[in-house]
Chains A and B, each alone.
Chain A
Amino acid sequence: MKLITISGPPSSGKTAVLSNVIKSLKAFGLHAGAVKYDCLATEDDAVFRALGIPVQTGLSGNLCPDHYFVSNIEECLKWGFSLNLDVLVSESAGLCNRCSPHIKGVLAVCVIDNLMGVATPKKIGPMLKFADIVVITKGDIVSQAEREVFAFQVRRANAKAKIMHVNGITGQGASELTSLFLNAPDTPKLDGEILRFSMPAALCSYCLGETRIGMEHQLGNIKRIKLKQEQL
């Protein structure tokens, strides 16, 4: 079974792109399944289910969804094997821009859209910088020039990824993306595999439920803002 991790900022088009890919996987006679990791709520499971594939949803609540992902992906992989899936896609909402679900040896995809502005690629951390494929969506509503400038910025943030333009609505580019999914390596197990980039240490008192503000309530891994001298 091929496991594929899909990350990307909220509403960038991850589900829309995956829906089109899943349709063409089905046309090849392959069995796909999906797992969605999100924070509070998601309706993506309904979208995947409407395509007739099995789905699991994991809600991380007050944890970072990517931290939650690492602790649970092995379980989901086993679930995929139990259903004899050919391809298991794991979609996670990249909420904190610093974590990423990408694992060494597992095909890693990051989905971003043209509307986010040219500064976005540099603001997105490891989920973009360590992806094998960067999918850019919503090219149908911006100008050719903006697409070119945006892709150039993506290249600057990740020199090695394959950069693809896919339209989440019409599916243009999705069969091409599918052909890359078909070449993904198999993932027989995850035990012992490693993340491409460490997740930040989220262990301060606020991680543990503290709500009061003030020095005396801050414990653990605390980092101070560096205030610079500024002229009035």
Chain B
Amino acid sequence: MMTILEKQIEVLKSEVPQVTDFFSDYGIILDDGGFTLGEYLEQLPEDFYEDIGIDQVTLLENLDGFLNQLNLLQNTEAPKVSEITIIGGHDKTGNPEHVELKLIRGSVTSIVGPTGSGKSRLLADIEWMAQNDTPTGRIIRVNGKKPDPELRFSLEYKLVAQLSQNMNFVMDTKVAEFIAMHAESRMIENAEAIVVDIIAQANLLAGESFTGQTPVTALSGGQSRALMIADTAFLSTSPVVLIDEIENAGIDRKKALSLLVKKEKIVLMATHDPILALMAEQRLIIKNGGIHKIITTTAKEKENLARLEELDNKLMSLRTRLRSGELIEES
């Protein structure tokens, strides 16, 4: 920290170009050649700091934090999460939940159960890395160990990424700009290549295609979902992906899941759709706030999945025919 204050501004700007943006957030334009950063900040008058609503000490603390974060993102791989373990607590009436469930990378687990049964609570327990400090008394282990409590608040090591039917893009940007902005927040070097990959992948999942020039707010429901999934697969550091009901999203669900699996995500999805439920290797039945049963998808079920998919395809083609104005009269 001290050394950075002694650097000439010009040198600093070429070594760490991100500082220009950092300071411009505070309305500080680092343009004076000849000064070191320390001298420059020192000569700014008191009422300048008053105006921007921060004092020099806090500003330097924030700079320090920002540089640390930059360093973390650029130089260290997030601690590799290879598995998480859910250790049962109790259900809503206090009956013990006899569960010790290990979820590994590249696996898909579905979560089923009636409204209010506790599906979202289970997902929230995982997100918070519960340590017997939530209403369920569950404990979450990461790689078999109790996770460092500070990781709960770390943005870099967030355990969980979420996707749901209700989410929309709200930013006023075009698709390519948007992905580049996300990549920048992750300090990723070759952003251009990733932008191209993500758009291509998203187009494989969505029905109608879009380009990097499409505004994100103009994407259809299906296109948005497809972009969210591709973006999460490529750009999110979170090893766990929680999906809340994407059945009606208008995307190729099988391809979407296999993309996430290929990217080694631990996928958990709350669903009511039998096709999605059977695509998972196992499903958790939630009842009265607890995991009531764990069912491994059987060979017979996998066979039935093929038949369900056939049925689904039939329905789809009927839909297409309806749209194009045909009669559905065959018996």
Contact = CB atoms under 8 A, between A and B. Distances in A.
Interface of A: 98, 114-115, 117-118, 122, 125-126, 129-130, 139-146, 148-149, 151-153, 155-160, 162-164, 170, 172-173, 175-176, 179, 197-198, 200
11 contacts: A118-B171, A125-B52, A125-B53, A143-B168, A145-B232, A149-B182, A153-B185, A156-B25, A159-B65, A160-B65, A173-B124
Most chain B Cβ neighbours within 10 Å, of A117, A125, A149, A170: A149
Interface residues of B, number: 51
A143 B25 contact: no
Nearest to A146: B171
A12 B223 CA distance: 28
B153 A152 contact: no
Nearest to B198: A145
Interface string B44-63: 00000010111100100111
B25 A159 contact: no
A159 B169 contact: no
Contacts of B68: 159
A159 B167 contact: no
Contact of A162 (B53, B62, B153, B236): B153
B204 interface: no
B164 interface: yes
B139 to A, nearest CB: 15
B178 A145 contact: yes
Interface in B156-201: 158, 161-164, 166-172, 178-179, 181-182, 185-186
A125 B54 CA distance: 7
A148 B52 CA distance: 25
Nearest first, the 8 A-B pairs at minimum CB distance are A159-B65, A125-B53, A152-B185, A122-B25, A159-B62, A162-B153, A145-B182, A126-B53
B133 interface: yes
A158 B236 contact: no
Contact of B65 (A126, A155, A164, A200): A155
Given A126-B54, A145-B182, A173-B124, A140 B167 contact: yes
Contact of A155 (B50, B66, B161, B231): B66
A61 B286 CA distance: 51
A140 B166 contact: yes
Contacts of B179: 145
Contacts of B54: 125-126, 129, 197
Contacts of B304: none
B41 interface: no
Contacts of B235: 145
B120 A144 contact: no
A143 B217 CA distance: 11
A144 B168 contact: no
Interface of B: 22, 25-26, 50, 52-55, 58, 61-66, 68-69, 120, 124, 128, 133-135, 152-153, 155, 158, 161-164, 166-172, 178-179, 181-182, 185-186, 224, 227-228, 231-232, 235-236
Contacts, number: 112
Contacts of A115: 170
Given A141-B168, A143-B168, A156-B25, 14 more contacts: A117-B172, A126-B53, A130-B58, A143-B228, A144-B231, A145-B178, A145-B179, A145-B235, A146-B169, A148-B182, A155-B65, A159-B61, A172-B124, A198-B50
B162 A155 contact: no
A215 B161 CA distance: 56
A170 B119 CA distance: 13
Most chain A Cβ neighbours within 10 Å, of B152, B155, B186: B155
A49 to B, nearest CB: 25
B166 A200 contact: no
Contacts of A142: 167-170
B22 A143 contact: no
A144 B260 CA distance: 15
A122 B163 CA distance: 27
Contacts of B61: 159-160
Contacts of B162: 139, 144
A164 B153 contact: yes
B194 to A, nearest CB: 12
Nearest to A151: B155
Contacts of A129: 53-54, 58, 62
B76 to A, nearest CB: 16
A176 B171 contact: no
A67 to B, nearest CB: 15
A141 B235 CA distance: 20
A175 B55 CA distance: 33
A172 B119 CA distance: 12
A200 B235 CA distance: 42
Contact of B155 (A118, A155, A172): A155
A161 B55 CA distance: 16
Nearest to A165: B127
